[in-house]
Structure 1
Amino acid sequence: MDYSLINYYGYQKSRCGYCKGVKCSNSHGMHAYGLTPQEYQDLIDRGWRRAGLYCYKPDNIKTCCPCYTIKCDALEFKLTKTHKKILRRMNRFLRDGKKEQHEERIENSMDTERNCEESGIIDVPKTDINLADIVTKTRENCTTNLQNKQNAQIKNVSQDANIAIPKTSASSQLCENSEQNDSSQQCEISLERPVCKKAKQMRLERRRTKLALRGISEETATASKSKIQNKEKSLQDYINDTTASDKHKLKLILVEVNSNQFRNTLMKTFALYKKYQILIHNDPPLDVNSYLEFLQESPIEMIEPVNGAPTGYGSFHQQYWLDDKLIAVGVIDILPYCVSSVYFFYDPDYSFLSLGTYASLREIEFVQQLSTHVDAIKYYYMGFYIHSCPKMRYKGKLAPSYLLCPESYSWCLLTQEIRDKLDENKYQRLNSNLSDEDPNKFEIRDLDKVRLLVNQRHFVTYPQYIQSFKIKHIDNILDIIRSRIYKEITGENDDRDIIIEYCKLVGKKCAHRLTYFKNDI
C-alpha cells in the first residue's frame, strides 16, 4: 500500500521576504515526500503552501507579516476596467506588433509582477529641409489663392445680380484677413499633421476583415449583434479576439513537470528564469539544480484526466510562446477543487504587456475551461494575501476573492470591512461568528489512528509505535530514568507532543491519511 510521507521539522524562524526582517518570519515546516492531489488540497485549505517539496504554514499570530490564503471564484469572476485594458493591449500587440506609448511603471511583488506599462519615446529623424520655410511659403500661397477665389466669387455674384459692389470697408477687410488667417492655419495644420483615418472607420474595417476571414456576411453579423447587444463581453471573448491575419501568435502549452516535453524545453525555461531573477529581483543567478528543486520538483502525485478533462491532476508549467519565443512560464498545481498558482516568471523585455496580470487572467480562464469537465473545479488559488505588505494587496483585485480564517478555517469574502480590520491590526480572526469552529479539528482521541513510518521500515499506528518501539525496549525503571535524563541533556522533544502539534496543524483528515516519518535510530 502506498503512503503519503511527511517529515515534520517543527517551528521555523527565517528572514522575511516581505518586510526584509531577520529571523522574524515564523512558520511550521515539513518535507513532503509524496502527496495525493486531495491531500494537498486539504493542506492549502488549512493555510499550508509548498515551495518545491517543502511545505510551510505561517504562524500568523507571531509572524511579522501575517499570510492569509486567498482564492478567487473563477466562475463568478468580474473583469475590471484595468483587466480589460490589459487584454486589449495584448490583442493590439498581437494584431500589429506595436508597443503602446505609455509611461513605464513596474511594480514587483514577491512572486510575480503586476501593473506594467510601456515607456514610449518617439525619435524624430534629422533632416536638412527647413520645415519652417515650407510652412511660410505654403501660408502665402494659400492666402493668394483664397483672395483670388473670393474676388472671382464676388465678380460672379455682382454680374448675376447686377449689384454694384462698394469698396471694402475696414471691418470687412478685417473679416477677410481673419478668414485668410484661418485658411492659412488649416493649411499649416494639414502639413504638420497628415490626414489619418478616424478610429471608428478603422474599427469598421477591422471588423469587416474578421468577418470575411470567418466567412460571415456583414448583414448576418449585424443581425446577430442586435440580439446580444446587451450581453457583456466575457474573459474568454477577450482572449479569443484574434484572427489568422494577426502579426503575432501567442500560444499556451501545458507541460507536466516530469514529462519529456519539460526536459526538452528545460534550458529555455531555465534561461528565462535566470534573466527574470537578475533583471527583476536583482538576485544572483542560480544553477539549474536549484531551479529544478524550486520549480520542477513537486510532491503531488499525477492523476489521469477524468470526465474528458483536457488534463489530469498534478503539477504543471504553463508556457507562453510568442511565435517561436518563450516569453513567460506559469507554475501551477491542478487540484480537485482549484488551480493553484505556485510561481510566475517572464521575459523583462515584454513588461509593457503586464504579463503578471495577464497570466492571472489566463489562469482564471483555464479554471473556467476545466469546470466544464469537472464541476468541482471552480476556484483560482493565488497563494497568500499579505495586507501588511502593500505590494501584495494586488491579489485582492481579482473579485470575488475569499480569505481563509486562521481560526475557524472558513472562507470569508474579502470586503472593505475586512480590509479596514486588517488596517487596524494585521492579525485578525476573519470569521466574526465566534461560535464557528474548525470542522476538521484534531482531538487527542484521534491520535490512535495516526500512522508512522519508524526507522524507514515499519508502518505502524501511534499505539503500536508506543507499545513496540518505546515501552517494549525499556526493561526497568533505571532505563526509564536514563531515557528522561537523555532527553533533558539533548533537548529532544517529547514524541507525543510534537506529533500532536503536527496533527493539529494538518487537521484530522490529513493526520489520518498522511504518514509521519519517525527515525528512532
Structure 2
Amino acid sequence: MEPTIINYYGKQTSRCGYCKNVECSNSHGMHAYNLAPQDYQDLIDRGWRRSGHYCYKPNNKNTCCPCYAIRCDTNEFKLSKSHKKILKRMNNFLRDGKKNKSEESTKSDTSATTSQMSAEKAQTNEGDENAMGSGSIREEPQAPNIPIREINMEAVAKANPQKTFSIPEKKESSEVSVVGTSANLSSLDGSIKSFDESKPPCKKAKQMRKERKEAKIKAKAEKDSAEQPQMKSSSIQNREKTLKDFVNSASPNDCHKLKVILVTSNKGVTNEAFNIYRKYQLIIHNDDPARLKKANLQRFCYKSPIKHTKLPGGPSCGYGSFHQQYWLDDKLIAVGVIDILPLCVSSVYFFYDPDYSFLSLGTYGSLREIEFVQQLVETVPSLKYYYMGYYIHSCPKMRYKGKLVPSYLLCPETYTWNLLTNEMRQQLDIQKYLRLNGDPEANDVDDFLETHLDLVMLLVENNTCVTYREYIQSFNIETLDTMLDMIRSRLYKEITGEDDDRESILEYGKLVGRTCAHRMLYVKV
C-alpha cells in the first residue's frame, strides 16, 4: 500500500464563510499527496477534513465559528416525519410523475432571480428541507498559495525498498463483541467442549425429534396457507416502514425510474455534471459565475488523495473516493461526492439540478447516503457511521445536520464522540466553544508529546524515508538526551544553516496524533 504523504502548512487565517467576517477564521492546513484510507479515518476522528487534496482542521478555541465534526450511527438512525414526507414525495413522483400545488410553488421559487435567491439565503433557514445536503453551504477553506514540492510515488517506493507501509486494521475497542455458541467456541479453542466425550451422542433420538418438528412445521404451513397472504399483508401494514423500504418501493409500472450509480471519482468532469454544478451554484448559492469553471469542480470534487483500495474484509466496492450519480430515466439530476473509509462513509459535497428542488434532493441525497451505509454494514459491521462534515452551532443555517438522529459531536480536546442532546445545544447557545466531554479526567489517548518526536516519519531529499532522529544524526550531530533537544536543534541550525522544523513538527504531531505522526510521511521541504 502506498504511504500517506503530506506537506504541512501550519496555521492559516482567512475570511470566514459562515459569519462573513474577514481574517477571523483560524485553522491548520496541509496538502495531502496521498492518503491511506485508515490514515484519513484517523484524521477525521481528530477533526480534520479534506477539500480536494487540501486538508484542514479548525482551531476551535480561537476561530470565530467553532466547527465540531459530526457523525450519525446508521444502525440507530430514526426517520423523522419530515424525512418520511420527503421519501413519500419522491416515490409518488416516480410512480405518477405528478407534483402537487405546494411542490409546484417550490419549483417556482428555485426559478427566482439571483437577487431574490441571495436575499432568501441571507435569512435564517434552519427548517429548509432543500438545505439538507452536506454541501448545502460551500464555505470550506482554500489551500494557501504556497509552492508544492513534486512527489513521485514510484520514486519513493524505489528509494525505500526496506520500508513497509501496510496499516494494521483498526477497530474501536468499545465496539468489539463476541457472539457465538459452544460449538463455534470449541472450534476456536480445542479445550472447550460442549458435550461429555465419555458418552456416545444420541444421534437417533435427535433425528427423531428433528423429524417430528419438521412434520409439525409442514402441517402448520399447509393449514395456514390460505390465510398467509392476508396475514402477510396485515403484518406489512402494521410494521413501521424503514429507510430501506422507502428506497426499494419502486415498481415496474412507475412513470419514472431513478437509479443511483456508484462510480470512482477519478473520472474527468463531464459536460452533464458541470452544467448541473454551475446551475446549482448560481441559483442555490448565488455564486460568482467567473469562478465556476471545470477546473475548479475537478479540483474540489474529482481530485482526491485517497486512492481506490480493496482490502480483505472490506466492502466489495473498496475504499476511496466515489460519486453517487442520480439518474432520473436517462437524465443526470444530482451527484453526491463521498469517501468510503474503514469506519464510515464521509459526505464531501452534494449538488443537484435546481429544476428538481421540489423533490428536496439535498435531504433525499443524505437519506440515500445513510441507506448506502446501511447496505455496507451488512458485510462490514464496523462501517456503520455517516460523517456529515462540521456542525457549526453559531451559524443557524448549519444546524440542520443535527436533525439526523442520533448524531454525535467530536470533543475538540479529548477526541471522543458525544451524543448531541438538547442540553448540549443549550450550552452551545451560551458559549461558542465547548469541551464536549463532561468527564474532567478524560484526555486525548493518542496525544503527541515531545518524547515522541524522534519517531516522526520524514520524507527528505532523494525521496528517502527517515525518522526525525535519523535525520538529525545524518549530520553527525551528537545525539543528546530529550532535555537538551533544544540545544541540539540550535546546533543543527548553526552547523547546517537549515531549520530542523522542530516546532512545526511538534505542532503537526499534536494535531494529527501520535499514531499518524509515526506512520504518515512529513515532507521536509
How many angstroms apart in 2 are the aligned matches of 1:352 and 1:456?
56
Q: CA RMSD in A?
A: 2.8
Matches within 5 A, 1:50-129: 50-102=50-102, 103-104=105-106, 114-116=128-130
Contact 2:493–2:499 (8 Å) recurs in 1: no
Q: Deviations over 1:223-256 (max 9, x none)?
A: 2033355421100101111211111000000010
How many angstroms apart in 2 are the aligned matches of 1:386 and 1:358?
21
Deviation for aligned residue 1:284:
2.5
263, 283, 295: which one pairs with 1:279?
283
TM-score by length of 2: 0.73
267, 273, 278: which one pairs with 2:271?
267
Matches within 5 A, 1:43-442: 43-102=43-102, 103-104=105-106, 114-116=128-130, 220-258=228-266, 262-263=267-268, 266-285=270-289, 286-304=292-310, 306-307=312-313, 309-442=315-448
Identity over the aligned pairs, expressed in percent?
61
Q: Deviations over 1:427-479 (max 9, x none)?
A: 0000110101111111111112111111353321101111224849xxxx9x9
How many angstroms apart in 2 are the aligned matches of 1:229 and 1:30?
53
Could you say what secondary structure the match of 2:448 adopts?
coil
Contact 2:264–2:322 (8 Å) recurs in 1: yes
Instruction: Mark the CA change 1:274 to 1:63 in structure 2 (over 3 Å): closer, same or farther.
Output: same
How many angstroms apart in 2 are the aligned matches of 1:365 and 1:470?
58
How many angstroms apart in 2 are the aligned matches of 1:218 and 1:243?
26
Contact 2:472–2:492 (8 Å) recurs in 1: no
**Partner in structure 1 of residue 457 of structure 2:** 451
Deviation for aligned residue 1:309:
3.5
Could you say what secondary structure the match of 1:224 adopts?
helix
Query: Structure 2 counterpart of 1:98, which letter?
Result: K
**Partner in structure 1 of residue 507 of structure 2:** 501
Deviation for aligned residue 1:100:
2.2
TM-score by length of 1: 0.73
Could you say what secondary structure the match of 1:270 adopts?
helix
Deviation for aligned residue 1:50:
0.1
- Answering whether residue 481 of structure 2 is matched by residue 467 of structure 1, we say no
Looking at CA atoms only, which structure, 1 or 2, has the larger radius of gyration? 1
Contact 1:47–1:406 (8 Å) recurs in 2: yes
Could you say what secondary structure the match of 1:387 adopts?
coil
Contact 1:13–1:25 (8 Å) recurs in 2: yes
Contact 2:492–2:500 (8 Å) recurs in 1: no
How many angstroms apart in 2 are the aligned matches of 1:250 and 1:219?
35
Q: Deviations over 1:355-401 (max 9, x none)?
A: 00000000000000000111110000000000000000000000000
Query: Structure 2 counterpart of 1:252, which letter?
Result: V
Contact 1:113–1:357 (8 Å) recurs in 2: no
How many angstroms apart in 2 are the aligned matches of 1:43 and 1:408?
14
Instruction: Mark the CA change 1:323 to 1:314 in structure 2 (over 3 Å): closer, same or farther.
Output: same
**Partner in structure 2 of residue 193 of structure 1:** none
Deviation for aligned residue 1:35:
1.0
Deviation for aligned residue 1:113:
11
- Structure 1, unmatched stretches of 5+, are 118-216
Could you say what secondary structure the match of 1:64 adopts?
coil
Instruction: Mark the CA change 1:243 to 1:10 in structure 2 (over 3 Å): closer, same or farther.
Output: same
Query: Structure 1 counterpart of 2:21, which letter?
Result: G
**Partner in structure 2 of residue 206 of structure 1:** none
Query: Structure 2 counterpart of 1:498, which letter?
Result: S
How many angstroms apart in 1 are the aligned matches of 2:306 and 2:360?
30
**Partner in structure 1 of residue 38 of structure 2:** 38
Q: Deviations over 1:89-126 (max 9, x none)?
A: 0001111111221153778699x995149xxxxxxxxx
Contact 2:493–2:500 (8 Å) recurs in 1: no
Instruction: Figure out how many residues of one structure are paired with residues of the other and give that number.
Output: 406
- Structure 2, unmatched stretches of 5+, are 111-119, 132-224, 479-486
How many angstroms apart in 1 are the aligned matches of 2:450 and 2:2?
26
Deviation for aligned residue 1:21:
1.1
How many angstroms apart in 2 are the aligned matches of 1:412 and 1:246?
43
How many angstroms apart in 1 are the aligned matches of 2:33 and 2:82?
41
**Partner in structure 2 of residue 181 of structure 1:** none
How many angstroms apart in 2 are the aligned matches of 1:290 and 1:308?
32
How many angstroms apart in 2 are the aligned matches of 1:308 and 1:10?
34
Pick which of 45-54 and 307-316 moved more.
Answer: 307-316
Query: Structure 2 counterpart of 1:275, which letter?
Result: K
Could you say what secondary structure the match of 1:406 adopts?
coil
Could you say what secondary structure the match of 1:431 adopts?
coil
How many angstroms apart in 2 are the aligned matches of 1:337 and 1:99?
39
Instruction: Mark the CA change 1:379 to 1:518 in structure 2 (over 3 Å): closer, same or farther.
Output: same
How many angstroms apart in 1 are the aligned matches of 2:456 and 2:494?
24
Q: Deviations over 1:173-200 (max 9, x none)?
A: xxxxxxxxxxxxxxxxxxxxxxxxxxxx
Query: Structure 1 counterpart of 2:509, which letter?
Result: C
**Partner in structure 1 of residue 163 of structure 2:** none
Contact 2:3–2:36 (8 Å) recurs in 1: no
Contact 2:95–2:253 (8 Å) recurs in 1: yes
Contact 1:108–1:114 (8 Å) recurs in 2: no
Contact 1:37–1:335 (8 Å) recurs in 2: yes
How many angstroms apart in 2 are the aligned matches of 1:240 and 1:28?
43
Instruction: Mark the CA change 1:356 to 1:440 in structure 2 (over 3 Å): closer, same or farther.
Output: same
Instruction: Mark the CA change 1:468 to 1:114 in structure 2 (over 3 Å): closer, same or farther.
Output: farther
How many angstroms apart in 1 are the aligned matches of 2:11 and 2:82?
41
How many angstroms apart in 1 are the aligned matches of 2:226 and 2:300?
52
Could you say what secondary structure the match of 1:99 adopts?
coil
